[in-house]
Structure 1
Amino acid sequence: MVNNAAEAYKRQQIMTATPEALTLMLYNGCLKFIDEGIQGVKEKQWEAANNSLQKAQSIISEFRITLDMDYEISHQLMPLYNYTYDRLVEGNIKSDVAMLEEAKGIIKELRDAWAQAMKKARKEKGTQGVQNGSYVG
């Protein structure tokens, strides 16, 4: 019963999240799966490691597919996503924790930058949203 409530809560969070919040959730999920993959490799739990790392790869694939190439930043992100994806694949094949850690570091930096951008955008929206004493959303 508790598990069903937790799942319903998680599902509700996803269904009501903004695109920006969903992106942050995906970055966090990717990091979680990479951590699980690293743990699996260290414990020689090959199947569990592979499953987790494939989930992380799927998230990165989603990032690549959804990049809007009309923006300059997308042309900078694509090679990072490609490189990170390749590190995950190779690290998975070779059971190389260093490669997986490298991929994790890149995703962590991107996640942190995304979180900062969200915070800045909220702050700017908050200060721009108030004009002449009334809120303009």
Structure 2
Amino acid sequence: MAFQQAQSLYKKNMKQAEAYKNKTTLSKDQAYSPSTAAAARTAQAQTPPAASAAPASSHAYQQNAIQTASRGDLTLLLYNGCLKFIDKADKAMGEQDMEKKNQFIVRAQDIIRELMVTLKTDTELGKNIYQLYDFIHRRLIDANISNDNEALHEARRFVQEFRDTWKETIKLDRQARFKEGDQA
């Protein structure tokens, strides 16, 4: 029964993610990958209003940085973006601004769904991570529907743990690659 529920939720999330991807368009000269598109949307949403009026070269720089980032760096951008949206939702919840709270939680949910869709679940580790992403997604929904601050904080703790672990993994990978290059 639980498997059927998870499968149903997975199919629903896949449909939502596909619809979301179809809404997002990239120019013809940009290569599409789900992580690149999500990172671009996250970076664009995080741009402060004053910066959005910056010259086109700033936007081009941002786009270039996203397009040339490694997959690991893109995933880190997604985790950071999710944390920022959760923090903004928490602040809006404290200020009783339910419209903004909803917008920020939905953005955090979008990022978690993107991580779920792009996750390879052909290993036990991938399946376990998927279940954790699903749990985070459900806690964000609970926080949004019930104005549950504890659910929001719980989701944040999990995302932060993922982010910190991912950051350390990238650091160790770079150190290993640097040592390999040094020995050649």
SS at structure 2 position matched to 1:44: coil
How far does residue 49 in structure 1 lie from its aligned partner after superposition?
0.6
Partner of 2:182: 130
Length-normalised TM-score, structure 1: 0.89
Partner of 1:49: 101
CA contact (8 A) 2:121 2:130 kept: no
Partner of 2:68: 16
Write the distance in 2 (CA, Å) between the matches of 1:98 and 1:7. 37
- Count the aligned residue pairs: 132
SS at structure 1 position matched to 2:54: helix
SS at structure 2 position matched to 1:69: coil
How far does residue 31 in structure 1 lie from its aligned partner after superposition?
0.2
User: Residues 90-134 of structure 1: CA distance to partner in whole angstroms, max 9, x if unpaired?
Assistant: 111111111100000000000000000000111111112234xx4
Write the distance in 2 (CA, Å) between the matches of 1:61 and 1:93. 18
Partner of 2:130: 78
Partner of 1:39: 91
Write the distance in 2 (CA, Å) between the matches of 1:7 and 1:50. 27
1:4 alignment partner AA: A
User: Residues 4-39 of structure 1: CA distance to partner in whole angstroms, max 9, x if unpaired?
Assistant: 244443322212211110000000000000001111
Please give the root-mean-square deviation of Cα atoms over the aligned residues, in Å: 1.6
Among 118, 121, 141, the residue aligned to 1:66: 118
Among 40, 45, 54, the residue aligned to 1:4: 54
1:54 alignment partner AA: V
Among 154, 158, 168, the residue aligned to 1:116: 168
Write the distance in 1 (CA, Å) between the matches of 2:94 and 2:65. 33
2:78 alignment partner AA: L
Instruction: Percent identity, please.
Output: 36
Length-normalised TM-score, structure 2: 0.67
Write the distance in 1 (CA, Å) between the matches of 2:68 and 2:152. 32
Runs of 4+ in 1 over 4 A off after TM superposition: none
